[in-house]
Structure 1
Amino acid sequence: MNEKLREQFTKWYEEDDHQQIIDTILAMPEAEQDYEVVSELGRAYNNVGQYEEAVVQLDRVSREGEGDAKWHYRRGYGLYYLKRYEEAIQAFSKANLLEPGDETVEELLEWSRSGADKQHREAARRAARQAASRENSSAEREPLAGMDLSDFWEDSEYAGKAYESEPLTDAMIASVEEELGYKLPASYIALMKQRNGGIPKATCFPTEEATSWAEDHIAISGMLGIGRDKSYSLCGDMGSRFMIEDWGYPDIGVMICDCPSAGHDIVMLDYRACGREGEPEVIHVDQEAGYEITFLAGNFEEFIRGLVTEEAYDTSEEDKKEDLRRVNEGQFSPLLTELCESVTEIDQIEARIRRICRQVVEEKGHFSFHADELSCLMYDVQFWLYTRSYPDTSRQHYLDIYSKMIAFGGGFGQGGYAPAWITDWLDQRIREGRIVQECGKLRFTDQAAADLIQKLKAFGSD
């Protein structure tokens, strides 16, 4: 690779323009794609999250890379995010042997070992539970036999509105199974015939591995009914195919439960081992950990029999205290700090933001934004702050930058967010005429900005 091209790649790398590196290399004649060029292509694919392609490209030059620590590191990086932990361990170990002392390599090597250990434990637990399930199911019996469902469901207006579909019919079962491409478990169908979706009173399931939710359990928000009429039904607009196609969850089965993280983890039926007509396992899929899969139960009936109430793990008071500390004392992200420092229209903007967010925590018990009034106010505040400093902001640019203000804002941050809430809020503001788009650039109208400033003034500084 010549020096000019090397400098150009370095520039694009520093600007996070990894796709430009990929496009440039792919446009080059294959004869000009030497070892260094292909290695850069593998790194760029890693940096845009195309890990499978990164490994494929790096394997093209495996002979030349054998003695290069960077090649082993880049290959190990892709393997790690593909959850091929054993292979990643080999790659990082070789990189560490060739150039000892690199903290990043050592950290990823440790993570790979942890991932491999978890996979081994999961495989052992899965095998044990499958054996137990086969033994228990050797005699034919009615699904949910002996299970008292009279007190299984929570009765609430929200549960009925968001989850509970129309009473189940055989025609609907057949139609939904055809659309999803999977045969639903008999125990799931039996439960849905009792009530077609809803919120169980017991919403926690114990785990032996930590997840993004807790050290020892996962929690569900509700259980999806068999239908299409409710957003949270199997074929609804927030159902199984939506989470797979729009949120990137693995296409290995059917989402049956959503979780309190607003989309950042879900519970699925996993058909990989049994095929589309078999009895699926139940798994937890954690988007926050790169769609990491945690085995929960050998079948659906085992899963619902294992649910326990949140009182067994109630940390709500501690969580609320921690989130109050976060909004009171947490350091703003560099971007949010920069935006607040430029505000002249109103004094003490940082203190006012903290007061709004403190009220969010007091009302919800945790620091997160959804579609309520205070959340929408904070969406407005962030949009106003950003577009007044960066008036050339397009819709896509804003959606890309949003998470760097509060969602993943470090000390004063939420640790995640649901992109759909942001796009829904933005579309609503555009429909209302409060946000306008001119030549591809978004901004509040002068009146909308003035109204927002008045609302902020109502949240007096501390």
Structure 2
Amino acid sequence: MSDFPHDIDLDAFWDHASSRKINQPPASAAMIAELQALLGYRLPPSYVAFMHRYNGGCPHLCCCPTEQGTSWAEDHCAIDSFLSIGRDTRYSLGGSLGSRFMIEEWGYPDLGVYICNCPSAGHDMVALDYRECGPEGEPRVVHVDQEGDYEVTVLAPNFEAFVRALVSPEVYDTSEQDYLDDLDTVAGAPFSPLLEELLEHFPDVPDLGSLIRQVALRIVHDKRCFALHADPLSHLLYDLQFWLYQNRYPVPSQEAYLEVYQDMIAFAKGFGTGGYAPDFIRDWFRARLADGHLRQAAGGLALTPAYRAQLLEQLSGFRPADPQTQEQP
């Protein structure tokens, strides 16, 4: 097997702590041959050698410059992880969330082999592109953007050049400006059409739209960004979105709800987080079912009246104090 150039420190390249769920033992020659037959493409020797030394994981150098904007940034794309060469784990080339899955289930163009996940949880990917070289040739590396109608951006002429192009996210550190932009977003950006519709048909809390903005402002102040995870304020926004939706439409199952969830805030063009991790929503769903706050009703799954009362009590803490009720000096 040819070796990857030794002037690249691959031990320092990887974030070993974050890679544990993805990294696998080196792939055997038999496994590589099996995958090449499954995928329909010859994997380039530089890629195979690179992955032989550390088979999949999360890199420290995770940003690749681009000459045009992507859904991630105006001048680069970001990589979350390299899929391992194998078939036995979800995040492997031949796994349940591997290259063929992205083509057959997510509609990505069949241009080659998808090798890197991005932070958007599936809404953009990095691939080996064989369209010009053929299935036995040396593929270029491209970024494919689902959010941009699967627009393809060339990142490098070959895999080695791609790895050499990767830089630290510190090169593109815009955290302070991002914080200010997120404050503006949650304070005044328009809600998505679906969220606007749901608020319009929600008489229980007439000022719920402004209260959602107040919760989001608290999240941005705490995290320095608008992102929903597994913390209490994120769970509050998960609760409110579900309450709004089930008030207007039936929710027959968790999966049915996940199909519409992203249209409320996650991928909204104005007031939105720009992405989400489905496992956070699934965990919230399981927790609400387990604690009895979410139950099956005649019209589908719904929050219980007692829990809705708790949410109203929580929301009262986000309303500004009435000056007329404050004690005068």
Q: Decide: shared fold, TM above 0.5.
A: yes
Q: 1:144: which partner in 2? A: 5
Q: 2:14: which partner in 1? A: 153
CA distance in 1, matches of 2:87, 2:222: 32
CA deviation after TM superposition for structure 1 residue 304, in Å: 0.2
CA distance in 1, matches of 2:222, 2:41: 41
Using the aligned pairs only, state the percent identity.
Answer: 49
Unpaired runs of at least 5, structure 2:
321-329
CA deviation after TM superposition for structure 1 residue 415, in Å: 4.5
1:160 counterpart letter in structure 2:
R
Q: 2:327: which partner in 1? A: none
CA distance in 1, matches of 2:12, 2:263: 44
CA distance in 2, matches of 1:454, 1:174: 60
CA deviation after TM superposition for structure 1 residue 221, in Å: 1.4
Determine if contact 1:370/1:421 at 8 Å carries over to the other structure. Answer: no
2:20 counterpart letter in structure 1:
G
CA distance in 2, matches of 1:438, 1:308: 52
Higher alpha-carbon Rg? 1
Q: 2:323: which partner in 1? A: none
Aligned residue for 1:197, secondary structure, equals coil
Query: Could you say which structure has the higher helix fraction?
Result: 1
CA distance in 2, matches of 1:351, 1:417: 22
Superposed, 1:317-332 pairs within 5 Å as 317-332=176-191
TM-score, scaled to structure 2: 0.81
Q: 1:278: which partner in 2? A: 137
CA pair 306-408 structure 1, distance change in 2 beyond 3 A:
closer
How many residue pairs get aligned? The number is: 317
2:238 to 371, 374, 379: 379
CA deviation after TM superposition for structure 1 residue 225, in Å: 1.6
CA pair 179-325 structure 1, distance change in 2 beyond 3 A:
same
1:353 counterpart letter in structure 2:
I
CA deviation after TM superposition for structure 1 residue 255, in Å: 1.4
Determine if contact 1:166/1:229 at 8 Å carries over to the other structure. Answer: no
- Note the aligned Cα RMSD (angstroms): 3.2
1:460 to 304, 318, 323: 318
2:185 counterpart letter in structure 1:
R
Q: 1:315: which partner in 2? A: 174
Q: 2:109: which partner in 1? A: 250
CA distance in 1, matches of 2:242, 2:163: 42
Determine if contact 2:80/2:117 at 8 Å carries over to the other structure. Answer: yes
Q: 2:50: which partner in 1? A: 191
Q: Deviations over 1:7-64 (max 9, x none)?
A: xxxxxxxxxxxxxxxxxxxxxxxxxxxxxxxxxxxxxxxxxxxxxxxxxxxxxxxxxx
CA distance in 1, matches of 2:28, 2:232: 38
CA pair 454-169 structure 1, distance change in 2 beyond 3 A:
farther
1:405 to 260, 264, 272: 264
Q: 1:170: which partner in 2? A: 29
CA distance in 1, matches of 2:184, 2:19: 31
Determine if contact 2:87/2:95 at 8 Å carries over to the other structure. Answer: yes
Determine if contact 1:152/1:200 at 8 Å carries over to the other structure. Answer: yes
1:428 to 270, 274, 286: 286
CA deviation after TM superposition for structure 1 residue 291, in Å: 0.2
Q: Deviations over 1:96-145 (max 9, x none)?
A: xxxxxxxxxxxxxxxxxxxxxxxxxxxxxxxxxxxxxxxxxxxxx74325
1:159 counterpart letter in structure 2:
S
Aligned residue for 2:95, secondary structure, equals coil
CA deviation after TM superposition for structure 1 residue 317, in Å: 1.7
CA deviation after TM superposition for structure 1 residue 293, in Å: 0.5
CA pair 206-343 structure 1, distance change in 2 beyond 3 A:
same
Query: Could you say which structure has the higher strand fraction?
Result: 2
Unpaired runs of at least 5, structure 1:
1-140
